């Protein structure tokens, strides 16, 4: 009953098999190998768009490098105020941009509302020398609250950003979970909705350690090879990143695994809805559930061996119905390794 | 006949097996897992010294993060002028130190001579506000020329550096190859010789992607957790780094693999010595051979399918006997995957 | 009728005289001159505390360098969300800290409330590797809204910050205006209230270009000489900074000039209070007035030649009584050069 | 008899008068004032070329900001190995470029030889991801050894750099001294010889604190306003920089002052040539003299009150005739404030 995160599980066996299979023989290092090249081809096909594609080993690297490619040191990156790039990467975007400002925009359930983005950009014009210059909108999909933007929402936000001269980045650490939750195509949820650069996660959804930075406009990636290298993120035996990504995509494995994780979460959420005293502050749609539960239930669950995180009140400013005394705000995350047995055991405790 | 580098090969099967074995079950992420903890224990035992130990996926990260922990932005890192940290990491040490200066010291065959270090430090005193402040001596073992410092040499250089108030870092990307070439203990070649922080490579010698940063004085590592995280080098499924390092050390695998690579190189070097017109600008001692060969031989070898790099004249300033017309300066690297058949085939071409 | 800012005026004649008087003869460069040494002695006496003192030419430098001395790249600086260091220095604090995060705390009228600081720090604990580490509280005195903290408020906020392990910085660009508005001693409003480092402005209050960074704990300034030099802020003919600061303090000139500026603003504010349709969103106390006025009056004033800035709605989130249609939010700033005639002429237009 | 540097003197009276004259009335701050605009017009006229021009208060800022505008973090700046930007700015260029590498090229008497630049660039090609990318050639005029490049030399070096895709920067801290020593036009010694960006010094030659960064291709300066602001180098009362520069240029004051300084140095050098045991390691041409003198003479001079710096052996690697035992290597600098009496008194001591 480990629901702490989708990175406490291992890698999917097919990913491991691909790593083992890629092991024999000498191939060029530093990403020039056939596996990495193949991975780029597959991603191009899956996303139905030419792209400059780079593989790295961590999500923080995928985000921070992407932002470093889009934002000058005197620039501003706008994101929802609880976004991972703002709160959970120990300042990596600041480091990789050489000191840009990450500007949080308030928003309910992890999302930026179009009106709020407009208001923020209106009050933050390009030009005045005294302030950092608007450069990037970064959207998280899934959001930090486990919710997903619709394509229409992404398109509207991207359009506002583009009109103001910004580039649009998507932190897609849980891109697959968002995708299958809405039954969309990768193209629809990325470049067709205005995304310029996508950090596509694989690690949380079955890979060992693999993420892709996908530039739908390759011109934006002109210096990326140098930026990745000097950040220490050019893996020497790059074949192992390529092999992971190939296996991740092959036969739609990535979508199947996300479906499994999402399904478990839906089951949990449905059950929570029946329990008196349990509230979901916003609807769960993918593999993360945020819930406000009675402290007694929290204690019972933990005593029964359930593991999950208490969540920070800092991440909750817009909620009109916050936890009160004797309530606890928690987050549960499911993964492709979560078992039905885990779920049922957890539900069993809840029902008692 | 691929002798381009020791990172064009795959991972050793035992490393892969360990990865697969580590895959089952939920464990904490971000390096708090039992495998990473075990790896730290094993390294502590192998090095016979308490240490703060951090695993990362690339050698550039291991070096740049270590230097970032030791050198302020207004500091200077001294190294041999051809050192990897100076020439081959696209400015990673500059990025991770937020702009320190990497000062190259001339030296024959990749080594710094004690007299040259003394002279450099004498002309670069601590104090004057106009200049960056001496902070770190970084030694490469193996050096960029494939040579190895003796323990006495390391101890002498470390002592000079310590007396001037510097910390001493070792870039041990090929530490194992240096170790077995001299039949030394890990302790003797590191902290006993004055090394404060060691970047210990495993990738080039059999791992998939794994290096350790070892602080023999844990106090130097106080902020390292934050520094690693904000550089995007804290792997979320950290168990896979831990598993690699454990397998790498278990039963002395790392020493065995280095011995294999070194043995192949010794065989090659011995053969080269017999060929008229072939010169080794300095003696090979581990798994890298630098040679000056007739252009005709170079062409014959390449036509026969041998792969290796022509080396830069920039890396050759102190040689008294440089390549002349119709000569080529080359580097050959062997690895644990090099086969005796490869070597014999290569030698066969050379002999013709 | 120029009320745009207190940096559109020139320097006070006594400051200029001091510059001219300092001109003759050879003296050491880079701040080792007798004038800079004398300035440090005077500041030490005025503040009644030993201190490490450094002169620079701009307020942005004084703030950013101070924060750079107190906050590591993986640290967080907390300030009121409209603070100059957050909004108006084009990312200088981010640059000088090598990428720290400036975290804005909401607050009415430019001030941070103690409860809000406590709540922010409670939700931002030291320790978790994923987030930047709390390092500095930066208070602006005057605030960005022209208000002043009382000593009790400063002491309370400093105490909260110190208990959480933070250092406390004061952006004192208008320190003198705040001081005379409350009739306090420099010591009372700085180190006695818990300030660790003060950026003391002189430029807006009569100097040509001169600010001081005052470390009440000299140990915090150990690397400051290097930090200032590598930022290009060590003036070669440092005597001219020293001479400015000496003249600024001599005979209490700084207090006299601030009194003049404050007096003019008080006169303006009193008059505004009598005009129907004009509101002050918060009380003015020093030399800056923020007012909400009818658009018609705004047009009349500008037509009559009055100059001042419309202020950003971004800087107004906590106001319960924001400007509505046909209202304009403006800022007026007075200086030591403002004349009674200017004020009366302006008031004359307002009264019509 | 102070010959330590040309920044131990004060400002020229005409510069001070201009500052005083600029003091009255309200003008826009941050460089939008009429004085700064006038200064830019005058510089444009003097250099006979359109340009984007920015005034700052220190030479380190002028150099580091210029390099920051030309060189990405993953770039290399090439300069003579003793250049001020490499050795004497405490890492400012590294800070302002966010970590670029400053690559020193050996050369006699402070100059880079064309053949050495070609060889360096040949061994440092654009492209390889593992190394920083060639971006800028920075030439010092005067050089750090007090020598001056001819226009032909500058043009040849610039042409080599441009062919390799680099931009060319000139550190003109003593531009005026170099100019009058060769009786050249400002245009001839800058853009006509291939200089893209010039850091034009005024401080050492009579200003209080004023330097200009002159982009002969304004497109290179697109972000410079932001870069200057975030470095804290946008002076709020910018009129005082503008007024200094106007006075510096008016009536050719800058050339007259440089002529005075150079003349004094020529007199000194001519006298030194007559003294047995005194050698000039290279010919002096402007206002700096480097000499090797007997220790006994050094002691006599210092006893008589002469002040000058012993120079570092580090700055002397290419000299074939270095100081031997009982010899001292010294630097003497003259300025517009040096008097004939000083010179004659010094010579009197030498002759004894």
Bridge partner list, A133 = A75
Q: Are B229 and C72 a contacting pair at CB < 8 A? A: no
Q: Are A74 and D223 a contacting pair at CB < 8 A? A: yes
In sequence order, which ranges of chain A are alpha helices (DSSP H)? 13-21, 34-47, 59-70, 84-87, 92-96, 114-122, 151-163, 175-182, 224-230, 239-249, 253-272, 295-303, 340-351
Residue B88 has pLDDT above 70, yes or no: yes
Residues 26-55, chain D, touching C (beta carbon < 8 A) = 26-30
DSSP A113: P
- Under the banding of pLDDT at 50, 70 and 90, the label for residue B139 is very high
Do D311 and D290 touch, CB atoms closer than 8 A?
Answer: yes
Chain D contact set for B123 (CB, 8 A): 312-314
Chain B contact set for A203 (CB, 8 A): 236-237
Q: Are B314 and D124 a contacting pair at CB < 8 A? A: yes
Query: What residues contact residue B198 under an 8 Å CB cut-off, 6+ apart?
Result: B169, B170, B172, B175, B190, B212, B213, B214, B216
pLDDT digits (tens, 9 = 90+) for C254-275: 999 999 999 999 999 999 889 9
Mutate to test the interface with D, among C65, C232, C237, C242 (most CBs of D within 10 A): C232
pLDDT digits (tens, 9 = 90+) for A126-135: 999 999 999 9
Which overall architecture, per CATH, does domain A13-253 show?
A: 3-Layer(aba) Sandwich (3.40)
| D98/A contact by beta carbon, under 8 A | yes
Return the structure tokens found at C230: 């590598």
How many Cβ contacts (< 8 angstroms) between chains B and C? 41
pLDDT, residue D318, reads 63
DSSP A193: G
Which residue from D minimizes the CA distance to B72? D91
Taking the C-alpha atoms of residue D176 and residue C94, their distance in angstroms, rounded to an integer, is 36
Q: What is the rounded average pLDDT of the residues B25-52?
A: 96
Residues 304-323, chain B, touching D (beta carbon < 8 A) = 312-314
What is the overall mean pLDDT for chain A? 95
| B124/D contact by beta carbon, under 8 A | yes
- Comparing A223-232, C320-329, D164-173, which segment has the lowest mean pLDDT? C320-329
| B288/D contact by beta carbon, under 8 A | no
| CA proximity to B161, closest of B138, B186, B188, B192 | B138
| D13/A contact by beta carbon, under 8 A | no
| D294/A contact by beta carbon, under 8 A | no
Chain D contact set for B58 (CB, 8 A): none
| CA proximity to C184, closest of C282, C258, C260 | C258
| CA proximity to B206, closest of B60, B3, B13 | B13
pLDDT digits (tens, 9 = 90+) for C189-206: 999 999 999 999 999 999
Residue B336 has pLDDT above 90, yes or no: yes
Do C235 and C62 touch, CB atoms closer than 8 A?
Answer: no
Q: For residue A78, what is the enclosing H or E element? A: strand A75-80
pLDDT digits (tens, 9 = 90+) for A103-126: 999 999 999 999 999 999 998 999
Residue A314 has pLDDT above 80, yes or no: no
Chain A contact set for C314 (CB, 8 A): 120, 123-124
Q: C207: helix, coil or strand?
A: coil
Taking the C-alpha atoms of residue D244 and residue D43, their distance in angstroms, rounded to an integer, is 12
Taking the C-alpha atoms of residue C116 and residue C105, their distance in angstroms, rounded to an integer, is 7
pLDDT digits (tens, 9 = 90+) for B235-260: 999 999 999 999 999 999 999 999 99
User: A154 to chain B, minimum CA–CA distance in Å?
Assistant: 27
pLDDT, residue C273, reads 85
User: A192 to chain D, minimum CA–CA distance in Å?
Assistant: 31
pLDDT, residue C352, reads 79
Do D232 and D253 touch, CB atoms closer than 8 A?
Answer: no
Which residue from C minimizes the CA distance to A312? C123
Do C301 and C90 touch, CB atoms closer than 8 A?
Answer: no
Confidence (pTM): 0.97
Q: Are D229 and A129 a contacting pair at CB < 8 A? A: yes
Q: Are D133 and A226 a contacting pair at CB < 8 A? A: yes
| D171/B contact by beta carbon, under 8 A | no
| A4/C contact by beta carbon, under 8 A | no
Burial class (CB in 10 A: 0-12, 13-18, 19+), B158: buried
Q: What is the rounded average pLDDT of the residues C317-338?
A: 87
Q: Are B99 and D102 a contacting pair at CB < 8 A? A: no
- Name which of C7, C237, C307 is nearest D10 (Cβ-Cβ): C237
Taking the C-alpha atoms of residue B82 and residue C335, their distance in angstroms, rounded to an integer, is 59
Query: What residues contact residue A142 under an 8 Å CB cut-off, 6+ apart?
Result: A110, A148, A173, A174, A177, A178, A286, A287, A288
User: D226 to chain A, minimum CA–CA distance in Å?
Assistant: 5
Q: Are D61 and C7 a contacting pair at CB < 8 A? A: no
Residue B312 has pLDDT above 80, yes or no: no
Do D292 and D279 touch, CB atoms closer than 8 A?
Answer: yes
- Name which of B99, B131, B312 is nearest D87 (Cβ-Cβ): B131
- Name which of C90, C95, C130 is nearest A88 (Cβ-Cβ): C130
pLDDT, residue C291, reads 93
pLDDT digits (tens, 9 = 90+) for A16-47: 999 999 998 889 999 999 999 999 999 999 99
Bridge partner list, D329 = D292
| A98/D contact by beta carbon, under 8 A | yes
pLDDT, residue A103, reads 97
pLDDT digits (tens, 9 = 90+) for A302-311: 999 999 999 8
pLDDT, residue D284, reads 87
CA angle (D84, D88, D92) in 5-degree steps? 95
Taking the C-alpha atoms of residue C107 and residue A76, their distance in angstroms, rounded to an integer, is 22
Taking the C-alpha atoms of residue B226 and residue B239, their distance in angstroms, rounded to an integer, is 19
Q: Are A25 and B10 a contacting pair at CB < 8 A? A: yes
The yes/no answer on whether domain D254-351 falls in CATH 3.90.1150.10 is: yes
| D64/B contact by beta carbon, under 8 A | no
pLDDT digits (tens, 9 = 90+) for A179-192: 999 999 999 999 99
Chain C contact set for A123 (CB, 8 A): 312-314
| D2/C contact by beta carbon, under 8 A | yes
Mutate to test the interface with C, among D21, D199, D237, D264 (most CBs of C within 10 A): D237
Mutate to test the interface with C, among D232, D261, D305, D306 (most CBs of C within 10 A): D232
pLDDT, residue B324, reads 86
- Name which of D98, D129, D229 is nearest A30 (Cβ-Cβ): D129
- Under the banding of pLDDT at 50, 70 and 90, the label for residue A318 is low
- Under the banding of pLDDT at 50, 70 and 90, the label for residue C324 is confident
| B234/C contact by beta carbon, under 8 A | yes
Chain C contact set for D7 (CB, 8 A): 29-30, 236-237
| B95/D contact by beta carbon, under 8 A | yes
Taking the C-alpha atoms of residue C261 and residue C121, their distance in angstroms, rounded to an integer, is 36
Return the structure tokens found at D236: 């709020």
The per-residue pLDDT string of chain D (352 residues; one tens digit each, 9 = 90 and over) reads 899 999 999 999 999 999 999 998 889 999 999 999 999 999 999 999 999 999 999 999 999 999 999 999 999 999 999 999 999 999 999 999 999 999 999 999 999 999 999 999 998 999 999 999 999 999 999 999 999 999 999 999 999 999 999 999 999 999 999 999 999 999 999 999 999 999 999 999 999 999 999 999 999 999 999 999 999 999 999 999 999 999 999 999 999 999 999 999 999 999 988 998 999 989 889 999 999 999 999 999 999 999 999 987 666 666 677 888 899 999 999 999 999 999 999 999 988 7
Bridge partner list, A293 = A328
pLDDT, residue A111, reads 96
Q: Are A74 and D98 a contacting pair at CB < 8 A? A: no
What is the overall mean pLDDT for chain D? 95
Which overall architecture, per CATH, does domain C13-251 show?
A: 3-Layer(aba) Sandwich (3.40)
Residue given tokens 């590498």 in the structure block: D101
Q: What is the rounded average pLDDT of the residues B102-131?
A: 95
Which overall architecture, per CATH, does domain B13-252 show?
A: 3-Layer(aba) Sandwich (3.40)
- Under the banding of pLDDT at 50, 70 and 90, the label for residue C318 is low
- Name which of B97, B130, B313 is nearest D88 (Cβ-Cβ): B130
User: B33 to chain D, minimum CA–CA distance in Å?
Assistant: 33
Residue given tokens 């004057």 in the structure block: B128
pLDDT, residue A322, reads 82
Domain ranges of chain A: 13-253, 259-351
- Name which of A19, A22, A29 is nearest B8 (Cβ-Cβ): A29
The yes/no answer on whether domain A259-351 falls in CATH 3.90.1150.10 is: yes
Residue B318 has pLDDT above 80, yes or no: no
- Name which of C101, C123, C313 is nearest A94 (Cβ-Cβ): C101
Helices B340-351 and B253-272: angle between axes, nearest 10 degrees: 10
Return the structure tokens found at A348: 């069993």
Secondary structure of chain B in HEC code, one letter for each residue: CECCCCCCCCCCHHHHHHHHHCCCCCCCCCCCCHHHHHHHHHHHHHHCCCCEEEEECCHHHHHHHHHHHHCCCCEEEEEECCCHHHHCCCCHHHHHCCCCEEEEECCHHHCCCHHHHHHHHHCCCCCCCCCCEEEEEEEECCCCCCCCCCHHHHHHHHHHHHHCCCEEEEEECCHHHHHHHHCCCCCCCCHHHCCCEEEEECHHHCCCCCEEEEECCHHHHCCHHHHHHHCCCCCCCCHHHHHHHHHHHHHHHHHHHHHHHHHHHHHHHHHHCCCCCCECCCCCCCCEEEEEEEHHHHHHHHHCCCECEECCHHHCCCCCCCCCCCEEEEEEECCCCCCHHHHHHHHHHHHC
pLDDT digits (tens, 9 = 90+) for A200-225: 999 999 999 999 999 999 999 999 99
Bridge partner list, C310 = C330
Residue given tokens 């993918």 in the structure block: A286
Subunits touching D (CB < 8 Å, at least 3 pairs)? A, B, C
Residue A319 has pLDDT above 80, yes or no: no
Do D176 and D256 touch, CB atoms closer than 8 A?
Answer: no
Query: What residues contact residue B320 under an 8 Å CB cut-off, 6+ apart?
Result: none
Mutate to test the interface with D, among A74, A76, A165 (most CBs of D within 10 A): A74
| A123/C contact by beta carbon, under 8 A | yes
Q: Is the peptide bond before D142 cis (omega within 30 degrees of 0)?
A: yes
What is the overall mean pLDDT for chain C? 95
Q: Are A91 and C98 a contacting pair at CB < 8 A? A: no
Task: Report CA Rg, chain B.
Answer: 20
């Amino acid at each position: 009953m480990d629901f702490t995160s989708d990175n406490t599980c291992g890698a999917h066996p097919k990913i491991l098999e691909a790593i083992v299979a890629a092991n024999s023989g000498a191939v060029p290092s530093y990403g020039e190998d056939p596996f990495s090249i193949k991975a780029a081809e597959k991603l191009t096909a899956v996303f139905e768009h030419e792209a400059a594609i780079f593989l790295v080993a961590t999500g923080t690297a995928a985000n921070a490098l992407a932002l470093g490619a889009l934002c000058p040191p005197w620039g501003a990156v706008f994101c929802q105020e609880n976004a991972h790039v703002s709160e959970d990467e120990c300042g990596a975007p600041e480091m990789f941009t050489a000191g840009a400002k990450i500007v949080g925009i308030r928003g309910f359930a992890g999302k930026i509302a179009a009106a709020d983005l407009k208001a923020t950009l209106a009050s933050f014009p390009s030009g005045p020398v005294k302030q950092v210059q608007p450069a990037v909108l970064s959207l998280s999909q899934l959001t930090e609250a486990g919710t997903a933007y619709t394509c229409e929402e992404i398109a509207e936000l991207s359009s506002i950003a583009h009109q103001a001269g910004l580039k649009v980045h998507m932190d897609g650490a849980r891109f697959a979970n968002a995708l299958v939750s809405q039954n969309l195509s990768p193209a629809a949820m990325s470049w067709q909705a205005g995304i310029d650069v996508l950090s596509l996660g694989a690690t949380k959804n079955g890979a060992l350690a693999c993420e892709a930075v996908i530039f739908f406009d390759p011109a934006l990636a002109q210096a990326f090879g140098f930026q990745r290298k000097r950040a220490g993120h050019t893996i020497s035996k790059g074949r192992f990143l390529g092999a992971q990504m190939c296996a991740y995509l092959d036969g739609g494995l990535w979508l199947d695994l996300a479906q499994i994780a999402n399904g478990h979460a839906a089951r949990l959420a449905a059950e929570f809805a029946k329990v008196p005293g349990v509230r979901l502050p916003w609807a769960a749609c993918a593999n993360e559930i945020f819930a406000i539960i009675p402290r007694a239930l929290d204690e019972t669950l933990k005593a029964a061996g359930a593991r999950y995180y208490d969540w920070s009140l800092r991440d909750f400013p817009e909620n009109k119905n916050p936890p009160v005394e004797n309530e606890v705000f928690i987050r549960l995350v499911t993964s492709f390794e979560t078992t039905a047995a885990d779920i049922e055991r957890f539900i069993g405790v809840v029902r008692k």
